[in-house]
Amino acid sequence: MTSKAIVESVPMGKRHFHLAWFLSQGYGPKTWRSDWPGSDVSRWMMPDLFVDLARAMDRACFDYVIIEDSSNVPYTYQGSHDTYLKYAASTPKLDPAVLVPYLAQATTHLGLVPTLSVSEYPPYLLARLVNTLDHVTEGRIGWNCVTGSNDGAAQNYGHEKHRPHDERYDVADEFARSMRSTTRASISSAAARSTRRARRRAACRSARPAARRAARSSPRAGPTPSSRKAAAASRQ
């Protein structure tokens, strides 16, 4: 049963609820040392497991999935990366934006919400990325806006440490305004192109009957002497 059919079968007056899935540990290995890794451990970097999960959520009428992400190897435990690397704990992780088109191609209704940090992108680049994903998913993209908090991640992008808390959120507000402006401009441009196409189609449709009437009203040319000779030769 599709989500539309389920909605239509619910009696009027009853409140609906929404379902979402938080994909913890993002686009990375899933307990590859346990009995249930969920995928071939040598292919953890491939989208197979996540595509299968997205299809299941699409069938179950989930509204969207949020893909968690972080951009550093943790070092909280004993102040070292070693344990995290040894057990693939919260690392490694691939870019969730790359995973989104695979999930979009395998689903029909599911919303796709990658985590993208404002501390790791210039404003225009992030707006362009989300806008592109919005187009290729036919409007099913979302953005889990985060600011980052780990200085190790900031150092991966050439900074000594993260901005102070309040400053990070001021930056996030600016990014959100930039994102809205870019999206509105894209929608307006697409609407204008759609309107022009509709006008051209309407003009073609109105011209076709007139062309057909002109063709019917024009006198038909009779056979020429050369065509009569050719027809007589073919009968012989």
- pTM of full prediction above 0.75: no
Q: How many CB atoms are closer than 10 A to CB 215? A: 8
- Is the alpha carbon torsion for 227, 229, 232, 234 positive or negative? negative
Top-confidence residue, 13 or 109: 109
Within-domain flag for 76 = yes
pLDDT tens for each residue of 128-153: 899 899 999 999 999 999 998 888 88
pLDDT of residue 2: 43
From the number of C-beta atoms within 10 Å of its C-beta (0-12, 13-18, 19+), residue 60 rates as: exposed
Within-domain flag for 229 = no
- Is the alpha carbon torsion for 162, 164, 168, 169 positive or negative? positive
Top-confidence residue, 151 or 100: 100
Within-domain flag for 234 = no
Residue 68, domain extent: 16-192
The Cβ-side half-sphere exposure at 37, using a 13 Å CA radius, reads: 17
Within-domain flag for 118 = yes
Separation CA 147–CA 162 (nearest Å): 9
pLDDT tens for each residue of 179-218: 888 777 665 555 555 555 556 566 555 655 555 556 566 5
Structural domain tally of the chain? 1
Phi/psi at 167 (5° precision):
-65, -40
